[in-house]
Structure formats: C-alpha cells, structure tokens
Amino acid sequence: MRIKLLSFLYRSSRYTITHFIYFFQKILFRPRDLETAVKIGDKVLGSFFILKKVIFEFPIPAGNDLDIYGLKFPSPLVGASFKADKNILDMWLQMGIGSIIFKTIMKEVRNGNPRPRLQEITMGGGTGIFNSLGLPGPGIKNFSNNIKDHILWDYNRPLGISIGGDSISDYIDNIHQIQRSLQNNDHQYFYELNISCPNTDNGQTICEDPGALQNMLSLIRENISQPISIKVSPDVSDSTLDEIGEVCSSFDQMIINTGNTHYKKISEINLDESNFSMKGGGLSGTSIFNRTIEMVNIFSKFNMPIMATGGISKIEHVNRLKESGAILFAMATSLVLDPYCIPRINRQL
C-alpha cells in the first residue's frame, strides 16, 4: 500500500514538474528540454531527504542475495550506469537496490554535447528516454579524489565504477588511477568497461573490435584482479557478441553486462529536429527489452555471470531474463520514471 501510494505521488509530481517546464519552454519559444526538468526534479527529491525514513526507506527482503566473485549483492537489482548525483544514488540504495554503477567516467572534464540532448519519448506503447549527453563528467582526476571517501560505501554493497576512454590507453590509465585511490580500502567494488560509446583511434568502438578488447583486457589483467563487467552494445551483430563472449570468458572474474542504449536517428523516433542537438542518440526503456533477451541468450552459453540491462521495469521482465540465464538485473530508465519499482520488484522476487 505504501509503495503504491508513494509511487503514485512520485509519478504525478514528476508529470506535473515536467509538463510545467515544457509549458514555459513553449511560451518562451525555447526547445523542449527534459534536462531542465531532471535538474529541478533532482533538487526537489534532495530536499525531501529529511523525510527519507518515510518515503525512501525500504528493507531488502532476505533470500535473494548473491555472491559473485566475493561481491555480496543483497538484491539482484542494480542501478545501471547513468547518474552521478550522490543524493539520487543514495535514495535508490535506501529503496533497496543491491548495487549501483556510477556514471561512466572519462579522462578529461567534459561538458558533453550541446543541449537539448535528453528527451522522453513514447515508443512501442511504452515510455523511453532518448539521450545524447556525450558523457559529461568531472574527469578521472576529480572522480578518483572523491571516490575513496564516498558516502555510498556506508551501505557496504558492491559499487560499480564505469570507465570510458577515447583509446585503449585512456581506459588503462583511468582504471589505474582509480585503483591507486581504492587499493588500501576494503570496499566492495567492481569495474565496468563501457566499451559501447567512445571512439578509439581507428574510429571504431571497442565493442566492434573484439581483438582490441582482448588486448585491453590482457593489459588490465597484468595488475588488476578486481571483477570486471564488460558493457556491450546492442547495436553490434550477434556474431561480434559471440566473439566478445569468447574473449571475456578467457579471463578470470568477468561479468557480461548485456545492454547499453540503442542508437537511433532522430527521424526513426519521430523527434522534431529543433528539440535535439544531435542527428541521433541512444534509446532506452521498454521498447529495447526484446534485444536484451536476445543478448542474454547469446551470452548464456559462456560460463560467466550475466547482468541484463535494457528495458527492465517489472518482475515479469526479471523472470523472463532469469529464464534466459541472467542473474543481475540493471535498470536506468525505470528508476527515472518510477524508482518505487525497486521495492516493488524486490518483494516479488
């Protein structure tokens, strides 16, 4: 009852704030931009923190915990890499998420692409997000300085550190820098290599080039034994996914994360050009769920834990992916649309 009520209040407040902002953007002849609503929404949620016991705190039901390479997940639900705001990440942990992966961190400080670069869209009967943020972030130096004493370690749940790079050496330098910050702590953490978005020297993503992935993992494994999740793109062919599975399963302590956003041109999703600064972007949400199942099926033949990401919002999705072989279930869009899916799914597991 409490979950139902709070979920309703969250969704109606979100709808009101978003449409209020769209209204002002319209009368001021500005492009529609969801990012303004996200920033205001995050502040509003942050200001509710004094009421956190009542509105955010949900115990994780016992019996669904997992031990993966010594990492203890109290719930198989994971916050996918997409958010950096510590209050919001804290809120999801209070609601019972088993693990959080920080937003991908790149070498330099980045502003990302020009706005508007984030929109909510309806597709295939469900709501999704279309983004081309361009990996804005504080850069590896600032991130490494702050990660050691981050408040989220207090939860003692595994935290994922998502690494990006414009070249193999960027990934390696970034991971080493973080490892230096964390090595004398007993925090539970894993790395996630976001091989889906950034471009390497030859213009390809590492996800399109399993040979480059093999090379990169060999170099990383010379000094780093921490569990590593490889986040693959749904946009590469099934045969490339197969090769990636072969490469990853030849290393120890690997996790496969099946699914980033799907690249679409703005014409494919019926978005007005004036409302998006780029020619295309990444689609997330319910409409990408079927590809997530296909990917889990492809990777299930390798002997590696699979984290499924893409279009998950309810217990039926989790059960379907579990049948296909996934053991962790990561969510991004549904945490934005209704974070009360966390306690709801936890209770239904």
Ligand X SMILES: Cc1cc2nc3c(=O)[nH]c(=O)nc-3n(C[C@H](O)[C@H](O)[C@H](O)COP(=O)(O)O)c2cc1C
The site for ligand X (CB under 6 A) is made up of 80-82, 103-104, 118, 129, 131, 133, 135, 162, 194, 231, 259-261, 284-285, 288, 309-312, 331-334
Nearer to ligand X, 37 or 331 (CB): 331
User: Least separation, in Å, of the C-beta of 331 and ligand X?
Assistant: 5
> Side chain identity at 140, as an amino acid letter?
I
How many Å apart are CA 47 and CA 278, to the nearest integer? Answer: 33
Nearer to ligand X, 80 or 172 (CB): 80
Nearer to ligand X, 52 or 100 (CB): 100
User: Least separation, in Å, of the C-beta of 100 and ligand X?
Assistant: 11
Nearer to ligand X, 159 or 331 (CB): 331
Nearer to ligand X, 259 or 325 (CB): 259
Nearer to ligand X, 75 or 261 (CB): 261
User: Least separation, in Å, of the C-beta of 296 and ligand X?
Assistant: 13
* The two three-digit tokens of residue 91, written as one number: 């809120």
User: Least separation, in Å, of the C-beta of 50 and ligand X?
Assistant: 27
Nearer to ligand X, 52 or 278 (CB): 278
User: Least separation, in Å, of the C-beta of 224 and ligand X?
Assistant: 19
User: Least separation, in Å, of the C-beta of 162 and ligand X?
Assistant: 5
User: Least separation, in Å, of the C-beta of 313 and ligand X?
Assistant: 7
Judge whether 272 and 246 are in contact, CB under 8 Å. Answer: no
Q: Which residues contact 201 (CB under 8 A, 6 or more apart)?
A: 167
